[in-house]
Amino acid sequence: MCGIAGYWTTQGGEASAMHRILGQMTGAIAHRGPDDSGTWVDSAAGIGLGHRRLAIIDLSPAGHQPMLSPSGRYVTTFNGEIYNYTALRADLEAVGAAPAWRGHSDTEVMVAGFEHWGIEATLARCNGMFALAVWDRRERVLLLARDRLGEKPLYYGRMGGSFLFASELRAIEAHPEFDGQIDRGAVGAFLRFGYVPAPHAIWHDIAKLPPANIVRITDGGRTVGAPQPYWRLEDVAKHGIAEPLTDVAAATDRLDVLLRDAVGLRMIADVGLGAFLSGGIDSSLIAALMQAQSAHPIKTFTIGFDDTRFDEAPHARAVANHLGTDHTELYVDAATTLDIVPQLPLIWDEPFGDSSQIPTFLVSRLARSAVTVSLSGDAGDELFGGYNRYLTAMQIADRASRVPAPFRSAIARLLSARATKQVAEAVNARLPTRLRHLGLSDRLGKVAMTIADPDPIAMYHRLVSHHADPASMLVHGEPYPGVLGIVSPSLGDHRAAMMYLDTLTYLPDDILTKVDRASMAVALEARVPFLDHRVVEFAWSLPMAAKIDRGVGKKILRDVLMRYVPRNLVERPKMGFAVPVATWLKGPLRDWAEALLDPTRLAEDGILDGNRVRAMWDNNLAGRGAYHTQLWDVLMLQAWREARANDGSPPALTVSSDLVDA
């Protein structure tokens, strides 16, 4: 795992100056690769590539980047892992296309593949996660590419006379021609979703490269082509639904073998590795498949919380004991957790509002104290139907559609009434502690809107929206840039459509962004076996009944897991990876929030409507509604802006002992 950066300028440049600028850019993302750094420059062409290395496979200098292909035609800077690189290496050797290997890194195999198969054909053969830049010295073309599902980030755009790209925005901000102007439309999108969705970025003139795409840059960086897909989820989904597997028992056997192979490939490393373990279906299955292929106890890591509403540690401990893993569990108190909050805008260099970023960072920090690679159970929900919105929301919509519209409107008004919410809040307060996180009053508004308009796709957009009208929060009311030009193809099942949209939006822009930044902040490589593209393609070939059965999601994953772990250890209500934001904002974080929401500061910023923000804050404190999710987004935006307020330069993020040592 690494960090990449580079630029192509129309103004040319002196080699030493270009190396210095690249050093500034890569230095800004040194946390992504503390083991080595490198720059490569063609001053005549005005192009330079930079790299920061976290050494995982082939720890020797033979893995140094930027790396030239055997003939010297291609120069690449690469962030990620190609898990099937040994098979690709054997393929090259079998046809006599292998060079005299310098080492055994996956990057060396990949650049050799570029010369034999071509860039796009090589990427199509790769099983991995990656973001990369390739400079074709013969054709004078720069290509950027990103993995199929978006595990690794890549930003790019033109500033002044230069084309810039990097793994993180802070590296782009370190370039002398960076002229940051906040994209107000992106702010609106952030307030709606809690993340800035691709292809947008928080800065004007900068974009995220969508997953599974390649973009070509020519003419000294002046001409930037439209991203072109080399793999399409739409094709995968349509093909799988058109030709579904019919024998679910045989499919369960196949999934067991396929996941075992996906996990095994992701256990290849020349450094220590382990797994995040929450004790839920997904992480328990990944840990079980790792342990089944290891001659020694694998290392597993769990964070525990004193607040039992959010504590999954006992469940993880039970699974770890059954599997016989070398389990590390760390309980963190509220003070320790809250200490992370000021670091959030440094770790996420773009506004990011998913509060599960905090425990994700904490478990990454814990794992990094013992290993350099950790496997994660992310993406099981999107692929196998695990989210509640695929289940209960569709049931509500189906039943509501049978009710005449006037009655639906009346019911929606009743559910939206303040008195109803007060009753829900009172009921919620009397629920068992383990169920209070469900937030009954918070959910009533979305249920009401679903009843009023049960169209499934419209319902999906409401369910994933933190704020129904983000433009109203902005000074100039800029509309957010829609979800996002992505329309689900006709898949015959609204639940499949929701999974499709989640896989293209929420998964890469929220879940995988969260995991990437949290892990990379402490120089930990996180690997996601469920995102092996063979698993993704297999999941789409399953009938919906293999995913959702009698109101329970991830049926086939559960069936595979029960071959390794007793049912009673993992069958429990879904908790998520949450923290008590609502309680914090009324207690220990109140002063911090008050300072960020100061009316004078909001007025000076000129982006958010201070009156609306303050009204939301006051109503939340007074109990006139639960707005903690929307307020957390606003606070993350304001904290991100404050971190850059002094001189506009990107704040430093260093991998130090206080980050790494648990």
- Number of CB atoms found within 10 A of residue 336's CB: 12
559 is known to lie in a ligand binding site:
no
**CA nearest neighbour of 509 among 161, 201, 121:** 201
Number of residues assigned to the chain: 662
Q: Identify the burial level of 392 via C-beta atoms within 10 angstroms of its C-beta, where 0-12 means exposed, 13-18 middle and 19 or more buried.
A: middle
Torsion angles phi and psi, residue 506, rounded to 5: -60, -40
The enclosing H or E element of 265 equals: helix 248-265
Annotated catalytic residue, options 1, 2, 313, 400 = 2
- d(Cα 343, Cα 522) in Å, to the nearest integer? 12
Q: Give the bridge partners for 146, in sequence order.
A: 131
Q: Provide the 8-state DSSP code for 54.
A: -
**Biggest CA pair distance of the chain:** 76
Tokens at 290, concatenated: 């790792």
Distance CA 520, CA 654 (A): 11
Q: Residue 167: name the closest of 319, 87, 54, 334 by CA.
A: 54
Cβ atoms of 488 and 457 within 8 Å: the answer is yes
The answer to whether 50 is annotated as binding is no
Measuring CA to CA, which residue among 304, 345, 397, 197 is closest to residue 662? 304
- 126: annotated active-site residue: no
The H-or-E segment that residue 585 falls in is helix 581-586
556 is in an annotated binding site: no
Neighbours of 415 (CB within 10 A): 20
User: What is the DSSP code string of 308-375?
Assistant: GGG--HHHHHHHHHHHT-EEEEEEE-HHHHHHTGGGHHHHSSS----TTHHHHHHHHHHHHTT-SEEE
SS3 of residue 185 by DSSP? helix
**How many CA atoms, within 13 angstroms, populate the side-chain half-sphere of residue 199?**
17
Whether the Cβ atoms of residue 231 and residue 534 lie closer than 8 Å to each other: no
Is 303 labeled as ligand-binding? yes
Per the annotation, where are the binding residues for L-glutamine? 106
Please identify every residue annotated as catalytic.
Answer: 2
Per the annotation, where are the binding residues for ATP? 303, 376-377
Per the annotation, where are the binding residues? 106, 303, 376-377
